[in-house]
Amino acid sequence: MVSAFNWACIFSFQSYNKAGGNRMYKKALLALTVLLLLFFSVNLVFSAGDFFKGLAMINDVHTMIREYYVDPDVLQKKELSYQAIKGMLDALDPHSTFFTPEESRDMLTDIEGSFGGLGIRIDKKGDNIVVVSPIEGTPAYRLGLSAGDIIVEVDGETTSGESLEKVISR
């Protein structure tokens, strides 16, 4: 049996031997690469196994709720999934959160300031509500609104000095 020290000595000697050094170096590098791949593959398999066990547990609970809940007609499968995801993220930290598609759309509207019905993105500059960009193919785009246009009123009410949120909600 060759110890690690002996192997290192043999490897050192062989690496200086011009005839066999290159071949020995390649074999050692190949062996090291194979060992590292095996090590990381085993770790990946075990961590993936834990992940799939967690998914299976969530699926089992979901199945039990569908089968045994007292009033299965009120169950909304999508809502159950959304709440499960929210619960998982809430367990992480107070800054991780999940938004349903509707919540996400509402949040983006608030952040970007877009009028979905007209198809424009707006922003507040000073006291004015300004078009950031019209969305191609929408009524605003077809009417010729362009970036920089100032929206002076909505439904007959002035927008000057109004908050972006208030103008969007009209």
- 119 is in which domain, residue-wise? 109-169
Q: How far is CA 13 from CA 29, 89, 156, 169, in A?
A: 16, 56, 90, 79
Q: Is residue 11 a part of any domain in this protein?
A: yes
State how far the Cα of 119 lies from the Cα of 66, in Å rounded to an integer.
Answer: 40
pTM: 0.39
Instruction: Determine, yes or no, domain membership for 159.
Output: yes
pLDDT of residue 162: 85
CATH (domain of 117): 2.30.42.10
Is 139 inside any structural domain? Answer: yes
Cβ pair 115, 108 in contact under 8 A:
no
- What residues in the chain have per-residue pLDDT under 70? 1-32, 34-49, 108-117
In sequence order, the 6+-apart residues with CB closer than 8 A to the CB of 89 are 96, 97, 98
How long is the chain?
170
**Structure-token match 């999934």, residue found:** 81
Q: With b meaning 16 or more CB within 10 Å and e meaning fewer, what string describes 31-51?
A: eeeeeeeeeeeeeeeeeeeee
Domain count, the chain: 2
Residues 6+ apart with CB under 8 A from 58: 84
Using CA atoms, how far apart are residues 125 and 114, in angstroms rounded to an integer? 15
Question: Domain for residue 115, yes or no?
Answer: yes
Q: Is 102 a domain residue?
A: no
The predicted structure's pLDDT at residue 4: 45
**Is 79 within the bounds of a domain?**
no
Is residue 9 included in any domain, yes or no?
Answer: yes
pLDDT at residue number 147: 92
- Give residue 124's pLDDT: 87
pLDDT of residue 14: 46
